[in-house]
Structure 1
C-alpha cells in the first residue's frame, strides 16, 4: 500500500528505465537519478523518495517490458507502467481484476470513491494490516489510485472505465509471461483471441 507518491511519472519512468538499461544496477540507478534530478522537484528529499518509488515499480518488469517502456510508443509505455503498478502492488492488481475489469464486463463502467471504499472494506476483513491504515492515509491512497488510473488511460476524466486498447506487441509480451495479467486491463483479450 505504499503507492501514495505522485502519479504515473511517465517521463521520469522512461528516463529511469533507460538509466537501468545503461547501468544494470538499481542501487546505481537510484543514486544517479537522484543526482541528475530526473524528477524536477525542488526538495532533494522529494526527488529521492520519488526516484525510489519509481524504481520499486519498475523492478518488477522483465527485460522486454523494460525495453518497451524505455523505447516504445506512448500507449505501450502507459500499458507497461500500469502493468508494473498491478504487479508491484497486490492491492492495485486485485482492484484492477476484481473490481475494474469485472465492472467493465457487466457494463457498469462508472467508478466512484464509494466503490473503492467498499472494495477496501471487503479486503480489510481478510487483511488485518489494511485495518491499521488511518482514514486520512486511505483517502490519500484512494485519490492517488484514481489519478493513476486516469493517467494510465484506465479511467476517463469523468471516471468511466475505458476499454484497454493494447497493441499486439504488448499483448504478446503478457501472453508469453503470464496470460492472467491481461485481466489488469479492462476489456482486453489474450493474444490470438481477437475476433475469435
Structure 2
C-alpha cells in the first residue's frame, strides 16, 4: 500500500525512464538522480522515498515500455505509467479490472466513491491486513488512488471513465511476453475487440 507516497509521478518517471534507456543500469540511474537532485525534492528523505517508489514501478516494465515513457506522446506515456502502477500494486490492478473495466464494458462511465468502498470492503473480507488499516489510512488510499486515476487520464476530474485509445506502439508493447503479463492491457478502459485490432 505504499502508493500513498504520492501520485503518478509523471515528471519523475519520465526522467528516470530516460536515464535507464540511456544507461541500462538502475544503480547508475539512482546515483544520477541523487547527485543533482533531479526530482527537485525538498529533503533527502523525500527524494529517497519518491525515488524508491518510481524505480520500483519502472523495474517492472520491459525495455519497449520504458522507451515509450522516454519518447512517446503524453497520452502514450500516461498509459504505460498507469500500467506500471497496476503491475506494482495488485490492489490497484484488481480495481482497474474488476471495477473500472467492468463499468466501461457496460457503458457505465461514472465512477463513484461508493464503487471504491464496495470494492475495498469485498477485498477486506479476504485480506485481514486491509481491515486492520486505520481509518485515516483507508481515507488516504482512496484519495491517492482517485488522484492517480485522474493524473493518468483514466478518469476525468469529475470521475468519468475515459475510454483509452491505444496507438499500435503501445498495444504491441502490452502483448504478454510471459505468463504474469497476461491480460495487462485490461487495466486500461479498452475492449478486447479494439485491442485485437490495434495489434494487427
Answer yes or no: same fold by TM over 0.5. yes
The SS at the match of 2:61 is coil
* Contact kept in structure 2, 1:172 and 1:191, CA below 8 Å: no
- For residues 44 and 30 of structure 1, what CA distance do their matches in structure 2 show? 13
Give 1:191 shift.
4.0
Residue of structure 2 in register with 1:182 after alignment: 185
Give 1:179 shift.
5.0
Give 1:44 shift.
1.9
Give 1:176 shift.
4.5
Change (3 A) 1:133 1:26: farther
Residue of structure 1 in register with 2:197 after alignment: 193
Query: Cα deviation per residue 1:31-65 (whole Å; 9 max; x = unaligned)?
Result: 32123212222122111111111111111001111
* Contact kept in structure 1, 2:87 and 2:93, CA below 8 Å: yes
Any unmatched runs of 5+ in structure 2?
none
- For residues 143 and 123 of structure 2, what CA distance do their matches in structure 1 show? 18
- For residues 42 and 174 of structure 1, what CA distance do their matches in structure 2 show? 35
Structure 1 range deviating more: 24-33 or 149-158:
24-33
- For residues 95 and 26 of structure 1, what CA distance do their matches in structure 2 show? 29
- For residues 38 and 75 of structure 2, what CA distance do their matches in structure 1 show? 22
Structure 1 range deviating more: 14-23 or 84-93:
14-23
* Contact kept in structure 1, 2:61 and 2:84, CA below 8 Å: yes
The SS at the match of 1:102 is helix
The count of corresponding residues between Structure 1 and Structure 2 is 195
TM-score, length of structure 1 as denominator length:
0.92
Structure 1 runs of 4+ with >6 Å offset: none
- For residues 143 and 119 of structure 2, what CA distance do their matches in structure 1 show? 14
- For residues 157 and 22 of structure 1, what CA distance do their matches in structure 2 show? 35
Q: Superposition RMSD on alpha carbons, in Å?
A: 1.8
Residue 99 of structure 2 corresponds to residue 99 of structure 1: yes
Any unmatched runs of 5+ in structure 1?
none
Structure 1 range deviating more: 92-101 or 175-184:
175-184
- For residues 141 and 176 of structure 1, what CA distance do their matches in structure 2 show? 29
- For residues 35 and 129 of structure 2, what CA distance do their matches in structure 1 show? 35
